[in-house]
Amino acid sequence: MPLKKLPYNDGSTLTVMDLDGFYLTLASNLKNQEEELLSMPDWQARDDDVMICTYPKSGTHMLWEIVCMLMTNKARRIPTSKSDYMMEVIPKASYDNFPSPRVLNTHMYFEYLPKDFAKRKCKIVYIMRNPKDVAVSFFNHHSNIISYNFSGTWGNYVPRYLKGDVDYGTWFDYTLKWEKFMADNPDYPIFMTTFEDMKEDALREVNRLAKFLEVDRGQDFLKEVIDLCHFDRMKKEKNHMEVVGGWRGGTAAMYRKGEVGDWKNWFTVAQNELFDQVCQEKMKYSEVKPRYTL
């Protein structure tokens, strides 16, 4: 699986891994990422596996932490990073050795995951975030992680993001694929929430999530989990768990703002109009209605 440098109009590039035309983030910790990914469909699942599926920068870290606490019945900070359980950047050996219940996560499409996962109908937790805030967060993510080798401008980034010249393709394709999968598989156990719903009423959403996971947790416990997973606390307590050497300036910045509507501070009128035009065209047959403000 070759490295690919995606060119931008300002002369900058974005370095990704190319898996038969599907772009993924580079896993510098894996000796052979291509071999691991190609073997993934044959990996064995477990009945109690839980998979968190998201497009990048949609609240994955927060949701992974919450699910881990609910599954283990322990309202305490998880001592590892969600990246340690991210399917596309871990070797099979690690995957096989994780203790049950495994709370896994991925930004890949469902078809790339272990076939046994679908066969067993393992639970999926899916969170969606509005694509404008995702664009801002992804731009900062790409700008700050060294392995991307990206130094482009926001103005040139927006059209490339809309086109899908980033790892994991477009937000639109990802969202439409999940919408279709849920429509085609109504009996598959999938929990869906949005970043905006979590920010609006976390207790309501976590109660729904606990019910979906079939775990009986009291309200005081759920409130403690929510407090631990509040963005400001996670930013303070979790950034140090990232590999700081992989970030520009030697300071991890996985957690930036975690707000709804920060896109207003970035988009020009013209960029916003272009974004709305593309979104309207891409999502014209979709029932998904992103929330851009609270």
What total of structural domains would you count in the chain? Answer: 1
Rounded Cα distance, 248 and 270, in Å: 30
Give a yes or no: residue 46 inside a domain: yes
Is-contact 60 54, C-beta < 8 A?
A: yes
Residues ≥6 apart with Cβ < 8 Å to 70? 206, 209, 210, 213, 215, 217, 225
Rounded Cα distance, 27 and 33, in Å: 7
Q: Which domain holds residue 187?
A: 3-282
pTM comes to: 0.92
Give a yes or no: residue 103 inside a domain: yes
What rounded mean pLDDT belongs to the chain?
91
- Token duo for residue 184: 């085609």
Tens digits of per-residue pLDDT, 28-69? 778 889 999 999 999 999 999 999 999 999 999 999 999 999
What CATH number should be reported for the domain holding residue 144? 3.40.50.300
Give a yes or no: residue 213 inside a domain: yes
Rounded Cα distance, 205 and 189, in Å: 16
DSSP H or E run through 45: none
Is-contact 178 53, C-beta < 8 A?
A: yes
Give a yes or no: residue 237 inside a domain: yes
Residue 251 has pLDDT above 60, yes or no: no
- Token duo for residue 82: 């969600």
pLDDT for residue 88: 95
Residues ≥6 apart with Cβ < 8 Å to 121? 187, 188, 189
Q: Which one of 107, 141, 142, 230 is the catalytic residue?
A: 107
Tens digits of per-residue pLDDT, 203-226? 999 999 999 999 999 999 999 999
107 is catalytic: yes
